[in-house]
Structure 1
Amino acid sequence: MPLHAHVRTRDGWPVQHAVVTVTDMTGAQVLRADADPDGAVVSQAPLAPGPYTVVVTALGYAPAARTALVAGPGRAELGTVVLARAGGVELPPPGAWTLDPAHSSVGAVAQHLGISSVHGRFTDFGGRVEIAPDLAASRVDAVISAASIDTGNGLRDKHLKSPDFLDVETYPEITYRSHGLTPAGPDRWTVHGSLTLRGIVREVDLSLTYLGTGPDPWGGTRAAFHATAELRREDFAMNYNQVVQAGIAAIGTTVRVELDIQAVRGEQLPQA
């Protein structure tokens, strides 16, 4: 297996139409291979030991180039190659953007028994993004219905809605309001904001990646983002836990939040 790589988007999806081209130091092409439906690129064509330039291209994505050094066995192990959408670092136009819940997800992951994870999501949420001409002044406001938590297990969801956790009857809404942005790269930012959960307000930073902007089938313009954050349950008075054998807590003390967001330009969503 002289050449092996995986081609992915910034949020982890395979790029199945990617093309990998390998040239030697004279600029002569010595190998060309296509990615399979899983984004994997495998070529059995022999490569002589030495340095090569590898260029990965795909329609709609900016090309990525790297140098590969083939050693004695003749293998070029490229690992994961991440492609950004073409023009992805061009920021969304200023103005109001409305979150599209039908094409977005708000998820949470908690450790269970110290060996695995339980995944949940909120199914009822909405929000608004205001992109300012001065990007640092941009804002995001989001509201989540706490009772919409869904982990795929009715008994667990009932417990999560109880006063041990979300206490949805007393605190029906979870809100997030940003108040600042700090650049972390050409298409990444740290979003600074206040999260209100169970009536408790805490400062929570989101690690945000901008995935690009483009037209949708309904005549609108969409921008896509991926964001993550980590919360400590004790910061929001969710201290319930059980200790199983060997002193291991049944539920982890932290919760990882994962957001995949599409926002549509304008104050309202277009009609499908």
Structure 2
Amino acid sequence: MGLTARIRTRDGWAVSHAVVTVADATGTQVLRAEADPEGAVRDTTALAPGAYTVIVTAVGYAPAAASALVTASGRAEIGTVTLARRGGTALPPPGPWTVDPAHSTVGAVARHLGISSVRGRFTDFTASVEIAPDDVGKSRVEAVIRAASIDTGNTVRDTHLRSADFLDADAHPEITYRSTGLTAAGPDRWTVHGDLSLRGVVRPVDLDLAYLGTGADPWGGTRAAFRATADLHREDFALTYNQVVQAGIAAIGTTLKVELDVQAVQGESLPQA
């Protein structure tokens, strides 16, 4: 006898803090139960045969309703109830996630001569993500990038980019980003608010973030994928070096487009190789 149910996100993750409320045909609450750490509800309260309404709620998620028919045995099997993030947006399960540099890219694109683009990436960086359990807006992102690891595929250009004309990697070896908040921007999309420290200058920078989903990896872990972009104005970070070529056209555009493709592993550290 009693009620059983499984509470999951659309990716199949357990919602451990869900609450299930059952009301009879008159609207009277007859049962209230909480999900266990695995998102399972198993309540042994005897229910009279008949039709009931089941409401499932959890902080940060939109409520979900289901119907239940209690048989003569006094048992109601609700099955799996899927909860969507409030506002239709989604993120991975709460807790710490560690970015895997081997399967992530931190890149930037600059216009060259007004007609083409030059792409570069940083090869040495660490980053972590903390998904808040109750208020997703309090989730955190932190990243540290070694400025000297810039790689555009051209040794002469990379040496110049590390110099005081650009990144000044000797004086400012680290580029850091620390988030200050998170705002839903649509289904699976978020705006990450944060402070970027580049070349010794700190400026607020928003990242347009898309959450691409989660899945198991071959090493027994769980991974989440993200893509994020941002536009930076070079002069905001004292990156004012330029060269004017013919017809007054600047060699380098004034805007840098940051492109991030990220895989994060669930947990506070990466698995041992």
TM-score (norm 2): 0.67
Query: How far, CA to CA, are the matches of 1:159 and 1:244 in structure 2?
Result: 18
Query: How far, CA to CA, are the matches of 1:232 and 1:90 in structure 2?
Result: 30
SS in structure 1 at match of 2:260: strand
Matched, 1:256 2:257: yes
The match for 1:168 is: 169
| One-letter amino acid matched to 1:136 | G
Task: Tell whether the 8 Å contact from 2:109 to 2:258 is kept in structure 1 after alignment.
Answer: yes
Query: How far, CA to CA, are the matches of 2:204 and 2:89 in structure 1?
Result: 27
The match for 2:18 is: none
The match for 1:267 is: 268
What is the CA-CA distance between 1:182 and the residue it aligns to? 1.1
Task: Tell whether the 8 Å contact from 1:189 to 1:208 is kept in structure 2 after alignment.
Answer: yes
Higher-Rg structure is 2
Task: Tell whether the 8 Å contact from 2:90 to 2:187 is kept in structure 1 after alignment.
Answer: no
The match for 2:147 is: 146
The match for 1:125 is: 125
- Segments of 5+ residues of structure 1 without an aligned counterpart are 1-86
Tell me the alpha carbon deviations over residues 225-271 of structure 1, each in whole angstroms, 9 at most, x when there is no partner: 00000000000101000111110000000100000000000011113
Query: How far, CA to CA, are the matches of 1:109 and 1:91 in structure 2?
Result: 27
The match for 1:104 is: 104
The match for 1:187 is: 188
Query: How far, CA to CA, are the matches of 2:90 and 2:256 in structure 1?
Result: 32
Aligned-residue identity in percent: 76
| One-letter amino acid matched to 1:251 | I
Query: How far, CA to CA, are the matches of 1:89 and 1:163 in structure 2?
Result: 42
Q: Following superposition of structure 1 onto structure 2, how do residues 21-36 of structure 1 map, counting pairs within 5 Å?
A: none
| One-letter amino acid matched to 1:206 | L
What is the CA-CA distance between 1:104 and the residue it aligns to? 0.2
Number of residue pairs matched? 186
What is the CA-CA distance between 1:209 and the residue it aligns to? 0.2
Query: How far, CA to CA, are the matches of 1:91 and 1:246 in structure 2?
Result: 48
Task: Tell whether the 8 Å contact from 1:121 to 1:150 is kept in structure 2 after alignment.
Answer: yes
| One-letter amino acid matched to 1:173 | E
| One-letter amino acid matched to 1:162 | S
SS in structure 1 at match of 2:157: helix
Tell me the alpha carbon deviations over residues 209-229 of structure 1, each in whole angstroms, 9 at most, x when there is no partner: 000011111010100000000
What is the CA-CA distance between 1:90 and the residue it aligns to? 4.7
Tell me the alpha carbon deviations over residues 69-114 of structure 1, each in whole angstroms, 9 at most, x when there is no partner: xxxxxxxxxxxxxxxxxx9965311100000000000000000000
SS in structure 1 at match of 2:117: strand
Query: How far, CA to CA, are the matches of 2:228 and 2:89 in structure 1?
Result: 16
The match for 1:237 is: 238
TM-score (norm 1): 0.67
Query: How far, CA to CA, are the matches of 1:177 and 1:89 in structure 2?
Result: 22
Query: How far, CA to CA, are the matches of 2:272 and 2:113 in structure 1?
Result: 45
- Segments of 5+ residues of structure 2 without an aligned counterpart are 1-84
Task: Tell whether the 8 Å contact from 1:208 to 1:228 is kept in structure 2 after alignment.
Answer: yes
1:204 to 1:90, Cα distance in 2 relative to 1, 3 A: closer
Query: How far, CA to CA, are the matches of 2:198 and 2:99 in structure 1?
Result: 20
Task: Tell whether the 8 Å contact from 1:218 to 1:271 is kept in structure 2 after alignment.
Answer: no
Task: Tell whether the 8 Å contact from 1:193 to 1:204 is kept in structure 2 after alignment.
Answer: yes
Would you identify which runs of 4 or more consecutive aligned residues in structure 1 move more than 6 Å?
none
Matched, 1:201 2:182: no
